[in-house]
Amino acid sequence: MLALPSAIQSLARFVDMLNRIARSACNRLLELIVAVTFMQVVLRYIFNSPTKWSEEAAMLCLVWYGMLATAICVRDHHHIAIVFFRDLLGKTGGYVLDVFAHLIILCFALVLLFSGSKLVDLAGVALLPASGIPKYLLYYSAFTGGALIVLNAITNIVTGSLRPDEFAEPETTS
């Protein structure tokens, strides 16, 4: 791998740190989703006394989980990809196609970022009806996920980490 300038290495380390924080948040959100949903099932079917807020709280956690996990997958190359044409183009053509794909991802993320900020403003001080959770917290997930996708796509482009080696056949030693 080529030696990268220190500014790009610093950017990559910073973005990777943000992704570790997001990954930890995703783990906590998933735990919270399971706990709240389990509690709701127990209260509803065993005690016949469901809560009003649990479904909205689980939905809020699920939306945040989805946006953060999507952003993390951009950096780690965990999204589904059809590599047939990329592999036909050879190394240089495949690299150009990967850059193009990340530019498309970047454009989508910018739309998500700006739309998310508009939704936050539009939600204002509205509350979710059952839980009383501010509605803008739901839309901050699009803003936050979009921002992290932008950072991840830019980092992948400037560091050249576009073709993950994880798809290569593992070498065996006998």
pLDDT at 69 over 90: yes
What value does the mean pLDDT take over residues 128-143?
A: 91
Q: What is the mean pLDDT of the chain?
A: 88
> Is the Cβ–Cβ distance between 123 and 139 less than 8 Å?
yes
pLDDT confidence bin for 170, thresholds 50/70/90: very low
Q: pTM to 2 decimals? A: 0.85
What value does the mean pLDDT take over residues 133-161?
A: 93
Q: Which long-range contacts (CB under 8 A, 24 or more apart) does 7-14 make?
A: 8/158, 8/159, 11/155, 11/158, 11/159, 12/155, 12/159, 12/161
Domain ranges of the chain: 7-163
pLDDT confidence bin for 2, thresholds 50/70/90: low
Q: For residue 172, what pLDDT is reported? A: 52
What value does the mean pLDDT take over residues 65-78?
A: 93
Q: Which range among 81-95, 108-122, 154-168 has the greatest average pLDDT? A: 108-122
